[in-house]
Chain A
């Protein structure tokens, strides 16, 4: 069974450009999460989807970040326009139906904004 897949694994963009990160969760997992680790600090929650609905987006830093999960399958996280402080590793995780606490993480996307 395939795990959580994230694409790209690494992205380098210039300040002001747009970047879209993609996450393919484990098939059948209703819950999808985005997390971010910036500058070697703690991994912070960004948002949580249940199927295609945003359950909690309290961790989204600002309106330059837009997450979607059309059809309740894969998810995208767009940063537009990117700023230097957006650099970090973006993790996606998925878990089965509500009540299961074990989240399976992808390998992360390392975003570098120069």
Chain B
């Protein structure tokens, strides 16, 4: 079965705090891709990152970093020194060539308070 679980429904932090959004996935495929998307209040889904199953290197992009661990089937997302503009719903998603579609988690709503 293919599934993405984002156990945190909502997280609230104060500006400048670090915050980690969890993502756990299930798949039997050996080749797959993991994604994070951001949905700001304006509604659109904004692509943040794509990672393939053969690349377990962590990635950092500015205040954003991602930790991919195949051993635990997790692809967690950390925002360092959070800002109010980071407030949004964040979705983790899984793509497999066998199904050719994205499977999304239920999303985590992040609220960054000033």
Q: Which residue of A9, A40, A44, A55 contacts B104 across the interface (Cβ within 8 Å)?
A: A44
A74, CB-defined interface residue at 8 Å: no
Looking at chain B's contact residues, the main secondary structure is: strand
Tell me whether A106 is interfacial, beta carbon within 8 Å: yes
Cβ of A65 < 8 Å from any Cβ of B? no
Q: How far is the CA of A65 from the CA of B47 in the complex (A)?
A: 27
**Cα–Cα, bound, A98→B105 (Å):** 24
Interface size on B, residues (CB 8 A): 22
Which residues of A have CB within 8 Å of B104? 35, 42-44
Contact with B along A32-64 (1 / 0, CB 8 A): 010100001111110010000001100100000
Interface string of A84-114 (1 = CB under 8 A from B): 0000010101000010011111111010000
Can you pick out 30 interface pairs between chain A and chain B where the beta carbons lie within 8 Å of each other?
A: A33-B101, A33-B102, A35-B104, A40-B107, A42-B4, A42-B104, A42-B105, A42-B106, A43-B45, A43-B93, A43-B102, A45-B101, A48-B100, A48-B101, A55-B100, A56-B100, A59-B101, A91-B45, A93-B45, A101-B33, A101-B50, A101-B95, A102-B50, A103-B47, A104-B47, A105-B37, A105-B46, A106-B44, A108-B44, A110-B43
- Mark B residues whose CB is within 8 Å of A: 4, 33, 37, 42-47, 50, 91, 93, 95, 99-107
Extra contacts, 19 of them, besides A43-B93, A56-B101 (Cβ < 8 A), are A35-B104, A40-B107, A42-B91, A42-B105, A45-B102, A48-B101, A56-B99, A56-B100, A89-B43, A98-B100, A101-B33, A101-B50, A102-B47, A103-B47, A103-B102, A105-B37, A107-B44, A108-B43, A110-B43
